[in-house]
């Protein structure tokens, strides 16, 4: 390890238009703090490139000084504190260009879905995104991106048409179906160790609205409704997307939700051809069996414009100290629901903030799309367990214990693969055995070693 001295860092600062921060310098704390307040990182350097040429200079400098590089946009995926190396913040790579006629957009690596979806909506287009609008577009694409419309429209990365990437040698590569097709395949789902993406070009969908939103049911109804949801969701057509979340909301949540224990049923009906009236009528027809079972405390379901898709899940947007664990499930049955009800249902005492069961299937298991490295999309359901760790109400150790209890209980339903975005910070065992089928994992490893032979982009496994 060559390492670097302060004069080397000064020299990096002179080579780029962007900024360099070292521990203790003004701005360093602001740049290292991300979405998850549990993760307190202290890398040797934080570098914020202003443009792609900066990224090239930064990576060449890092390679010369044996300094490992961790690209980051928002810190939504920062599950492990960085204690050394360089954090490369992409926040200033913020170009957005929409080609309305060709129904595609090009997005800089620093932009989040909430920067993009209003502009797309104004152009009569919608993107296939994840549930939260505060996640970066590129960060989501790299892991696949299973979102609130994915049963109908597939994963977000199915829509990626090309990436601009700076590799470990500091070269700019355009990866698409014709150029560097191995890298293009890997960037859609392979997630780590592949370079710094500076921009992605993504296909949009000619869609202005879906019929969707959420129903919040009170603690007295939630256990019964969870069982009924399972019966309802098992045979739904691919046009319907849904999940349930057992929620324990903070006192500052709005209106009747403040401090409440609720079941949040998320729903989205998608039909590209349908008029607004048809969307509403057909959407309500699908919902009718659930509506017949109880009266929600809050009902936000209606015609939903594409720039408000994040309201379906209503994920937190401000930074939180959150512990997270997730899995993909081969199937779900009433025994599984009974386990969840026992842990986080209406009568349970729990420190967990959210336990979400999401129906997958539909377009997620289509085989006619361009092959990519995305893993864990063939399961029937996903399960996500979140706990906001705040002393003294929910100390981290209590949150972890409650989360591990659910992990152990649902093990019999666990699928062989798990999507990267559900894995938290994957243990070496999960990284090697569960994120991708063996053949994909092997091919990914080979692509990574071709584009980053010296492992400049460290990913811990």
Kindly tell me which residue out of 75, 218, 345, 346 binds ligand FAD, with binding defined by CB under 6 A: 75
- When CB distances to ligand FAD are compared, the closest residue is 139
Under the binding rule (CB under 6 A), the answer on residue 140 touching ligand FAD is yes
Under the binding rule (CB under 6 A), the answer on residue 128 touching ligand FAD is no
Kindly tell me which residue out of 38, 168, 196, 355 binds ligand FAD, with binding defined by CB under 6 A: 196
Smallest distance from ligand FAD to CB 227, Å: 24
Q: Give the integer Cα–Cα distance in Å for 394 and 281.
A: 43
Query: Scanning the structure block, which residue is given the tokens 């049955």?
Result: 333
Kindly tell me which residue out of 147, 296, 346, 424 binds ligand FAD, with binding defined by CB under 6 A: 147
The two structure tokens encoding residue 159: 């829509």
Among the residue ranges 40-48, 190-198, 326-334, 362-370, the one whose residues contact ligand FAD (CB under 6 A): 190-198
Under the binding rule (CB under 6 A), the answer on residue 135 touching ligand FAD is yes
Q: CB-wise, 110 or 345, nearer to ligand FAD? A: 110
For 326, the 3-state DSSP assignment is strand
Q: CB-wise, 341 or 360, nearer to ligand FAD? A: 360
128 contacts 156 by C-beta, under 8 angstroms: yes
Q: Give the integer Cα–Cα distance in Å for 275 and 63.
A: 55
For 75, list phi and psi in degrees, rounded to 5.
80, 10
Site for ligand FAD, residues 419 to 448, rule: CB under 6 A: 421
Smallest distance from ligand FAD to CB 11, Å: 24
Q: Give the integer Cα–Cα distance in Å for 23 and 44.
A: 6
Under the binding rule (CB under 6 A), the answer on residue 197 touching ligand FAD is yes
Kindly tell me which residue out of 73, 230, 265, 456 binds ligand FAD, with binding defined by CB under 6 A: 73
Under the binding rule (CB under 6 A), the answer on residue 45 touching ligand FAD is no
Under the binding rule (CB under 6 A), the answer on residue 121 touching ligand FAD is no
Under the binding rule (CB under 6 A), the answer on residue 157 touching ligand FAD is no
Site for ligand FAD, residues 240 to 279, rule: CB under 6 A: none
* Cis peptide bond upstream of 392, omega within 30: yes
Q: How many residues does the chain have?
A: 461
Under the binding rule (CB under 6 A), the answer on residue 107 touching ligand FAD is no
Residue partners of 288: CB distance under 8 A and separation at least 6: none
Smallest distance from ligand FAD to CB 405, Å: 22
Under the binding rule (CB under 6 A), the answer on residue 69 touching ligand FAD is no
Site for ligand FAD, residues 83 to 102, rule: CB under 6 A: 90
Under the binding rule (CB under 6 A), the answer on residue 78 touching ligand FAD is yes
Under the binding rule (CB under 6 A), the answer on residue 74 touching ligand FAD is yes
Long-range contacts of 337-343 (CB under 8 A, 24+ apart): 337/226, 337/227, 337/230, 339/406, 339/409, 339/410, 340/226, 340/246, 340/406, 340/410, 341/222, 341/223, 341/226, 341/227, 343/402, 343/405, 343/406, 343/409
Under the binding rule (CB under 6 A), the answer on residue 71 touching ligand FAD is yes
Cβ burial of 381 (10 Å; 0-12, 13-18, 19+) is buried
Kindly tell me which residue out of 76, 164, 180, 209 binds ligand FAD, with binding defined by CB under 6 A: 76
Under the binding rule (CB under 6 A), the answer on residue 326 touching ligand FAD is no
Strand ranges in 204-346 using DSSP code E only, listed in sequence order? 209-218, 240-248, 261-269, 298-299, 302-305, 322-329
Question: DSSP assignment, residue 346?
Answer: T
- Residues forming the site for ligand FAD (CB under 6 A): 34-35, 71-78, 90, 109, 130-132, 135-136, 138-140, 142-147, 191-192, 196-197, 315-316, 421
């Amino acid at each position: 390890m060559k390492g670097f001295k302060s004069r080397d860092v000064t020299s990096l600062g002179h080579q780029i238009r962007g900024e360099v921060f070292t521990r203790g310098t003004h701005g360093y704390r602001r740049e290292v703090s991300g979405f998850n307040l549990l993760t307190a990182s202290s890398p040797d350097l934080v570098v914020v490139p202003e443009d792609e040429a900066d990224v090239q200079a930064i990576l060449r400098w890092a390679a010369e000084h044996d300094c490992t590089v961790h690209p980051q946009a928002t810190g939504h995926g920062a599950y492990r504190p960085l204690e050394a190396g360089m954090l490369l913040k992409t926040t200033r790579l913020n170009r957005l260009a929409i080609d309305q006629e060709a129904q595609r957009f090009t997005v800089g690596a620093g932009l989040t879905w909430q920067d993009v979806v209003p502009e797309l909506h104004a152009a009569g287009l919608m993107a296939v995104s994840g549930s939260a609008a505060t996640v970066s577009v590129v960060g989501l694409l790299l892991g696949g991106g299973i979102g609130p419309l994915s049963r109908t429209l597939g994963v977000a990365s199915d829509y990626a048409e090309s990436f601009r990437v700076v590799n470990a040698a500091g070269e700019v590569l355009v990866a698409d179906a014709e150029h560097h097709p191995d890298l293009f395949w890997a960037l859609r789902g392979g997630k780590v160790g592949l370079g710094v993406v500076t921009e992605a070009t993504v296909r949009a969908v000619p869609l202005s609205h879906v019929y969707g939103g959420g129903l919040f049911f009170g603690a007295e109804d939630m256990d019964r409704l969870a069982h009924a949801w399972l019966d309802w969701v098992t045979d739904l057509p691919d046009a319907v997307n849904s999940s349930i979340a057992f929620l324990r909301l903070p006192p500052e949540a709005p209106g009747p939700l403040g401090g409440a224990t609720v079941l949040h049923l998320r729903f989205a009906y998608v039909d590209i051809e349908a008029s607004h009236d048809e969307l509403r009528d057909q959407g309500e027809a699908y919902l009718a069996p659930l509506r017949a079972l109880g009266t929600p405390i809050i009902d936000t379901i209606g015609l939903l414009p594409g720039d408000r898709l994040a309201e379906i899940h209503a994920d937190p947007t401000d930074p939180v100290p959150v512990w997270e664990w997730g899995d993909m499930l081969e199937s779900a049955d009433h025994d599984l629901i009974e386990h969840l009800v026992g842990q986080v249902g209406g009568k349970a005492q729990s420190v967990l903030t959210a336990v979400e069961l999401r129906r997958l299937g539909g377009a997620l298991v289509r085989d006619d799309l361009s092959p990519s490295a995305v893993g864990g999309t063939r399961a029937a359901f996903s399960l996500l367990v979140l706990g906001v760790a705040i002393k003294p109400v929910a100390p981290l150790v209590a949150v972890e214990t409650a989360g591990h209890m659910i992990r152990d209980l649902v093990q019999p339903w666990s699928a062989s693969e798990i999507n990267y975005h559900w894995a938290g910070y994957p243990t070496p065992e999960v990284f090697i055995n569960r994120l991708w089928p063996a053949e994909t994992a092997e091919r990914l490893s080979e692509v990574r070693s071709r584009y980053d032979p010296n492992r400049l982009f460290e990913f811990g496994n």
